[in-house]
Amino acid sequence: MRGAASVSSSKGTGPQVQSIEPPKAYVGALKFLLRPLVRGLIAHGMTFPHFCTLLKSVFVDVAGEFTVEGKRLTDSRVSLITGVHRKDVKRLRETPRDAIVRSPYVTIGAQVAGHWTGRAPYLDDAGAPRALPRSGPVSFDSLVESISKDLRSRTLLDEWLRQGMVTLDDGLVRLNTQSFIPNRGFDDLAYYYGRNLHDHIAAATHNLEGGTPPFLERSTYYDGLTPRSVADLEARARAIGMDALVKMNREALHLARKDDGNPDATLRMNFGVYFFKSEKDAPMDKDDKE
């Protein structure tokens, strides 16, 4: 039998659809989107058995969202909807989840950059980040201290100078707005890799499942372009993208300060941009294309 026969419960408190056979179009799309992920897995030494072990734990974890009202989510039900053996389900559900921890540097550095590009005292008349003196009432030191008193401003300045995040000219610290993410170390890049791709895929999955209202998730795609044309479009995308990020940061910072202390302030948001170019799309099976 082919198709997407499904079983669902209208009284569920989470996603309920369990496909007997996943839709062919979905399988084709999944194979396509997994290619860059698998490329990264191989590049960083994660083998197929290792990934399967990791994936098994994620299946069991996510299955917790597929609840039925008035019924306890048993190991047997988790095994049924995931295909993971019940003994493994029991073991994995009893194993504490690993927390995804941001380094303090990422947290503080991102906040410093966010305030520098979003708060009036640190902006010039055109709304761009001001070049700041090292010390004083409105300075690089005062900016860092307003975020954290545990990190010395000199430490952050030295690191940002090394990374090209800022330049030092006649005693003034100038922010390089093109380097919006404040740390290029692998651990921190990996954190953003997971967070940003998670949110992008989560938004697309929400829309694919018919979630309402749908999330903003759009792109512009062209092929048959020359290297020069793509280079021009990439430069334009960087300029437009940075402008959009700075404006969104400014608005979000204003609202976050306004919402501070409000008991309803329990949500988070993520807005991002990306640009990709390649010689051609990854190969797809003939059946997938059809």
148-166 confidence digits (pLDDT tens):
888 888 988 988 888 788 9
DSSP output for 104-142? HHHHHHHHHHHHHTT-GGGB-TTSSBPPEESSSSSSHHH
DSSP state of 268: -
DSSP state of 164: T
Query: CA-to-CA distance for 280 and 276, rounded, in angstroms?
Result: 11
When pLDDT is averaged across residues 41-59 and rounded to a whole number, the result is 90
pLDDT tens by residue, 132-150: 999 999 999 999 998 888 8
Query: CA-to-CA distance for 63 and 77, rounded, in angstroms?
Result: 9
When pLDDT is averaged across residues 108-122 and rounded to a whole number, the result is 86
> What's the sign of the alpha-carbon dihedral 101, 104, 110, 111?
positive
Percent of the chain with pLDDT over 90: 54
pLDDT tens by residue, 120-131: 889 888 888 999
Query: CA-to-CA distance for 270 and 264, rounded, in angstroms?
Result: 18
Residue 285 has pLDDT above 60, yes or no: no
Residue 101 has pLDDT above 70, yes or no: no
* Predicted pLDDT of residue 99: 60
* Predicted pLDDT of residue 283: 54
Residue 105 has pLDDT above 80, yes or no: no
* Predicted pLDDT of residue 288: 45
Contact of 161 with 167, CB cutoff 8 Å: yes
State the chain's mean pLDDT as an integer: 84
* Predicted pLDDT of residue 15: 54
Query: Measuring CA to CA, which residue among 181, 151, 148, 150 is closest to residue 163?
Result: 181
Query: Measuring CA to CA, which residue among 11, 2, 3, 32 is closest to residue 288?
Result: 32
Query: CA-to-CA distance for 85 and 60, rounded, in angstroms?
Result: 10
**Which carries the bigger pLDDT value, residue 99 or residue 186?**
186
Percent of the chain with pLDDT over 70: 83
Query: Measuring CA to CA, which residue among 161, 196, 190 is closest to residue 176?
Result: 161
| Banded model confidence at residue 4, pLDDT cuts 50, 70, 90 | very low
Q: Which two tokens stand for residue 170?
A: 């006649």
When pLDDT is averaged across residues 213-242 and rounded to a whole number, the result is 95
109-113, 192-196, 248-252, 284-288: range with lowest mean pLDDT? 284-288
* Predicted pLDDT of residue 181: 53
* Predicted pLDDT of residue 6: 38
CB atoms under 10 Å from CB of 165, counted, come to: 24
- Collapsing DSSP to helix, strand or coil, 5 comes out as coil
Query: CA-to-CA distance for 132 and 168, rounded, in angstroms?
Result: 10
